[in-house]
Amino acid sequence: MEIASPTPTAVRGHPLQANLWRALLLLSAAVIAVPILVIVASLLGPYSAAWGHLIDTVLADYVINSLLLMLGVGSGTLLLGVSAAWLTAMCEFPGRRFFSWALLLPMAIPAYIIAYTYTGMLDYAGPLQTLLRDSFGWGFGEYWFPQIRSLGGAICMLSLVLYPYVYLLVRVAFLEQSTAVLEASRNLGKTPWQTLFLVALPMARPAIAAGVSLALMETLADYGTVAYFGVSAFTTGIFRTWYGLGELQTAAQLAAFLLLFVFTLFILEKRSRARLRFHKSSARSFPARIPLRGWRAAASFSVALGILSAGFLLPAAQLGVWAAGNYAGVLDQAFLRLVGNSFLLAAIASLCCLLLALLLGYGRRLYPGRAETIATRVAGMGYAVPGTVIAVGVLIPFAWIDNSIDSWLRQQFGVSSGLLLSGTLAALVFAYVVRFLAVSLQTVEAGLARIRPGIDESARSLGHSPMSVLRRIHLPMLRGSLLTALLLVFVDVLKELPTTLILRPFNFNTLAVRAHELASDERLADAALPALAIVLIGLLPVILMNRSMPREQEHA
C-alpha cells in the first residue's frame, strides 16, 4: 500500500547537503535492489545441463503445484476471511466483540508451525486416529482418513494462517461502507445474503483483491510447509537444485521464474482494479447490524469459533501440551542460546530496517522528485519477493566478492582470505533488510504523512537544518510509528525460515531453524518449545494491530 507523502516546499540549504541526501537515498535503494536484479539477470546467463533434467522430471510439478497452491489458498482465504469479516462487522450475535479481534490470532502462527502441529494431531500415530482405532477396533488399512501430508493439507494449513490478511482488510471495508446504500438494499426487500453478494462484496472488491494478493504472495514464499509435506513447489525446487545438484546458477534461474509468478500476480491485481472507481462514504454513522437469534446466532457463533479453533486454539493448545511434557529435556543451555541468537538477529535487522526506512522516507519527504520516489518504491519491493529468492540473490554477489578478493590476495601475496561475507551474519542481516524493509518503510511513511508540512517549513524558517528538524521534531512525533516498525520487523525476522536456512553461518541456529530441524526428524514434541516461543512472540504485532484499529468502527 503506497502512502501519499505530503509535499513540503522545496528545502533550501547548501547544495552539497541536498546532494548528499539524494545520493544516500539513491545509493541505499540501489544496494537494496541488487539481490533482485541479480536474480532477474540470471535469466540472461548460460543454462546448464541441469535444466534438461529439471524439464524432464520435476519442472512441470513445480509449476502445476504452485498454481494449485495459489488457487486453493486463494479460495480458502477468500471464503474464511470474507465470512468472518461479514459476521463480525455486519451481524450481531453472542461473542461478536471477542471474535472481532480474536480472529486475527492465527497471524501469530507461521504456516510451517501449524503444519507440524496438525501432523502430530492427525497423522497415523496421532491422538485422533489412535482414538478411532481403539474405539472401533480398526487396523492399518481398514479405514480411510485424509492424508495431512499432501497438497490439500498444505492448502488447508496455509489458508488457516493467511485468511487474516483478507479478514482484516475486508472487515474495515465493510465497516466503512455507505449506510445509505446498504439500508436502501434492505428497504428494497433484499435479504441479508442478497445484500452481501449484490452490494457489500462488489463495494469491498479492492480490499478483497488486496487481501487475497497478500495471502498468495505469502503462499509462493512459503518453504517450511511445502517442504515438510513433501509438495514439489518452486521454493523446495530451489533448495533441491542448489543443495542436491550443486547448481547455484540454475537455482537462481529457477528463483527468477518464481519471481515472475510474483510479479505477474502483482500486475494482475493492479489491473483488476485499474478501471474501477470506489468512493468511501464520509458519513460518520454506521449501518445497524443484523440481529441474529436462535439457530442463526448459534450457527454464526459456531462458524467463528470453528475458524478460530482451527487456526489458533487447537494448534496452540497442542504445542502447549507438548512443551509442558518435554520442557525438561529441551529447556537447557542450548535452547537459551537459540533464543539469544534469534533475538540478536531480529534486533540487528529491525534496527537496520528502521534506520534505512527513516533515511528513505524522510529523504523522499525532503526531495519528492521522480527519481527519489522510484528509488523508494524499488527499495520496498523486497516484501513481495520470497525469502528463498532473496537468499539466492544475496549469496551470488557476496560469493563473487569473496572469490574476487581471495583470488587477488592469492596472486599478490600468496594468502587466502577465505569467506569474508558469504556464510556470515552480515549476509543474513542484509537479506533480512532486503526482505522486510518495506514493513518499516510503510510504517514510517504513514507516520510522516500525519505530520503537516507546515511544521517543517516553520522549523526551517527558524534556521534548523533537515537533520535538526528530523532529530528535534519528527523523531519525538514519530515515536509510536518507529516502535511499531521496529516490532513488526523483529517478529517477521524471528519467524523467517528459508532465508535463515540458506544464509546462516555454520553451526548457527535460530528458533525457527531448530523447530524445522526437529520436526523434519519427526521429533514433533521436542520442536514444540521453540515453536511455542515463536508463536507467543508473534502475538505482539497481533495485539498491536488490534489496538490500532479505530475504535469508532466498533459501532453498536
The amino acid that residue 96 corresponds to is: R
Name every residue whose Cβ is closer than 8 Å to that of residue 157 and which is 6 or more positions away in sequence: 111, 114, 115, 118, 225, 229
Provide the pLDDT for residue 209: 83
The amino acid that residue 418 corresponds to is: G
This prediction has a pTM of 0.84
CA–CA dist 127, 117 (Å, integer):
12
Provide the pLDDT for residue 462: 74
- Listed in sequence order, the DSSP H helices in 126-247 are 127-136, 151-175, 179-187, 192-195, 201-203, 205-221, 224-228, 234-239
Look up residue 231 and give its three cell numbers.
509438495
- Domain 342-504 sits in CATH 3.40.1190.20: no
CA–CA dist 229, 185 (Å, integer):
46
**Of 461, 466, 479, the residue nearest 365 (C-alpha):** 466
CA distances from 39 to 34, 315, 423, 552 (A): 9, 37, 19, 46
Provide the pLDDT for residue 284: 46
Look up residue 480 and give its three cell numbers.
509510536
Look up residue 295 and give its three cell numbers.
439457530
Strand partners, 92: 291
**Of 383, 387, 390, the residue nearest 443 (C-alpha):** 383
Look up residue 521 and give its three cell numbers.
526428524
Query: 203 and 278 in contact (C-beta within 8 Å)?
Result: yes
Phi first, then psi, for residue 286 (nearest 5°) are -130, 150
Phi first, then psi, for residue 46 (nearest 5°) are -70, 150
Provide the pLDDT for residue 554: 44
Provide the pLDDT for residue 287: 56
CA–CA dist 489, 432 (Å, integer):
9
Stretch(es) of the chain classified as CATH 1.10.3720.10:
51-177+205-273+294-318, 342-504
Strand partners, 91: 290
Spell out, as residue ranges, where the chain has pLDDT lower than 70: 1-18, 177-200, 269-288, 328-331, 547-556
Name residue, grid cell 560469493: 399
Query: 441 and 379 in contact (C-beta within 8 Å)?
Result: yes
Query: 397 and 40 in contact (C-beta within 8 Å)?
Result: no
Name residue, grid cell 518449545: 529
Strand partners, 291: 92
- The Cβ-side half-sphere exposure at 405, using a 13 Å CA radius, reads 11
Phi first, then psi, for residue 92 (nearest 5°) are -120, 120
Provide the pLDDT for residue 317: 93
CA distances from 46 to 49, 50, 242 (A): 10, 11, 16
Q: Within a 10 A sphere around the Cβ of 473, how many other Cβ atoms?
A: 16
Look up residue 216 and give its three cell numbers.
498468495
Provide the pLDDT for residue 77: 95
Provide the pLDDT for residue 171: 86
The amino acid that residue 383 corresponds to is: Y
Look up residue 271 and give its three cell numbers.
489491473
CA–CA dist 20, 275 (Å, integer):
40
The CATH number of 51-177+205-273+294-318, from 1.10.3720.10, 3.40.50.720, 3.20.20.150, 3.40.50.2300, is 1.10.3720.10
The amino acid that residue 538 corresponds to is: G
The amino acid that residue 443 corresponds to is: T
Look up residue 255 and give its three cell numbers.
528463483
Provide the pLDDT for residue 65: 94
Provide the pLDDT for residue 270: 67
Provide the pLDDT for residue 86: 86
